[in-house]
Chain A
């Protein structure tokens, strides 16, 4: 029996090597398109076409009663928007609302996640209770808070009454309107931040905390060396999501204040609705929507640029 392997080339010319027929190979080439196909169709029908139509609409003057009977007006809608103080007021309200909601929701959500990550008795129940607002339907949330904020018999006025402050019109006075809307929104969305950050906290290996104990690090050093670097990417993503969702939030604002008092909560999305269905100007509403889309895209682009810079720093 010989185990020797031939190293020298065979003297007879070997037949050319061909690929063996393979169904597997065919399937591997085709299957990705089959898998992503439904998603692509969905995106085209429900995202791409509506966005394109919306942008088309923004170049027309279209009355609500005849959505397909618009007349082209070119950039007229945009130029009128960009020269109207009401639009800038709306833009300002959007930015103020978004910034306040995101800052408070992320700070309170991440903070309560850190607290709830500690071991204490009844932790599961507290977590469940804190998560509850997220499960409440938005319309119900808005109704509940409109009762809380009610001028004549709302709970909030009862409470501040005890403190010796007179009755306030939380939803009708310009100085309180935005605060009331932000408070309601934070109450509603904060639990999501908490849940996501909590999940991220729980994936930190316990050895890292033990290592900091061996090194004698205090709570603050441990947070800076272990906890924060670990949850920072999650916090960034959740901040991005919160920002985009806040820019386009409608129900809570519209149901509580309808954009008032005196347009202080008239964010871009509420403005779109009012232009389309109160002023019956579909074209102008579409133009506001298009500019809102630009704002959202801007946020996303900035986020991804930051992420890329972070990734470059990591490597």
Chain B
């Protein structure tokens, strides 16, 4: 129903530009996540789509209509706020019914006395009652119908906010960090709930978050924003497998991708003293390149002297199912880690537990074909993009 196009959106607040020339096309039914650290401009972008903030330049297009001049209500979209924004003096039921009752209220209904009657008539209208009941049961809110938001937990409040968005049957849902105020367990639970609502309604969702787990688990498309500039617009899988640049490589993944400077000779990169085979599909020029390896593409063993990168175990983080091992490479190997890497260590993810202990000498071997290569100066991924070109217009 609604295809969302954003064309060359810019926004400045006074002297600071928070969004630089943002363009994106989102097909109907997509789940787009705007992912970025705080201050990246992601919430501002969402508010521009909603009509709560006007862009300094650029067009917001729903299907073939430019909606820049339309009020938020006219755009037929629902917005879910991080702070829930429930009407505190209305019951759960009244909060959910609010947008519907509002549609029926006409000017003269506000005359004192008449307004009370009108509210009662609309409130008990069969149609509204039916819709409220179906939406509340969908979100498991039946038993709270007559409570006020003040008597609900954070998770319940956000469910009410979702119900209030859902009942309008809008053409698009905008969600601004809806899970940020909840604890980890509730967050996981509501993540599933929101994905379910997305499937159920088949509507376009635009979801703002700083949490890469939410982005990876819910999105069909992710836009990574940094300082108001798009870093990458791609599917979650591609963003993980082929980050467009070193910023995305560091932003996605926990722990993030290990980045290090690598000398290239005759098309073959080096990992410290270790020579890696020339990567398929990329011609590396002689000089230096930034080499990236995800923690799960490294293995560590206790046999010293074997083929690989010699080092010392410095940190062990046992997560139960996995273990994270932080290794300090031998200074003799000449490996130059990016200073960004946590504690200057090479992080390795291993399934299960390890027998290694901090202080043990060890050998690290990379899965060379999984490595990413970035331009040493621009930070751009040297591998050609597969699908991202199709997603980005122009």
Contact = CB atoms under 8 A, between A and B. Distances in A.
B71 A213 contact: yes
B93 to A, nearest CB: 15
Interface stretch (B12-20, B80-88, B122-130, B189-197): B80-88
A207 B73 contact: no
B194 to A, nearest CB: 18
B273 to A, nearest CB: 42
Given A213-B71, A213-B73, A215-B73, A220 B85 contact: no
A210 interface: yes
Nearest to B98: A215
Nearest to B110: A220
Interface in A154-208: 205, 207-208
Interface residues of A, number: 19
A29 to B, nearest CB: 34
Interface string B45-78: 0000011100000000000000000011110011
B88 A214 contact: no
Contacts of B150: 314
B98 A213 contact: no
Nearest to A226: B87
B383 interface: no
Interface in A190-243: 205, 207-208, 210-211, 213-217, 220-221, 224-226, 229-230
Nearest to B53: A210
Interface centre among B51, B74, B105 (most CB of A within 10 A): B105
Given A214-B50, A225-B98, A205 B71 contact: no
Given A210-B79, A314-B148, A216 B87 contact: no
A226 B78 CA distance: 18
A230 to B, nearest CB: 8
A213 B72 contact: yes
A229 B105 contact: no
Contacts of B51: 213
Contacts of A220: 110
24 contacts: A205-B85, A208-B85, A210-B52, A211-B79, A211-B81, A213-B72, A214-B50, A214-B73, A214-B77, A215-B73, A215-B164, A215-B168, A216-B71, A216-B102, A220-B110, A221-B102, A221-B110, A224-B110, A224-B115, A225-B87, A226-B87, A229-B88, A314-B89, A315-B148
Interface of A: 205, 207-208, 210-211, 213-217, 220-221, 224-226, 229-230, 314-315
Interface of B: 50-52, 71-74, 77-79, 81, 83, 85-90, 98-99, 102-103, 105, 110, 115, 148, 150-151, 164, 168
The 6 closest A-B pairs by CB, nearest first: A216-B73, A229-B89, A207-B85, A211-B85, A215-B99, A214-B79
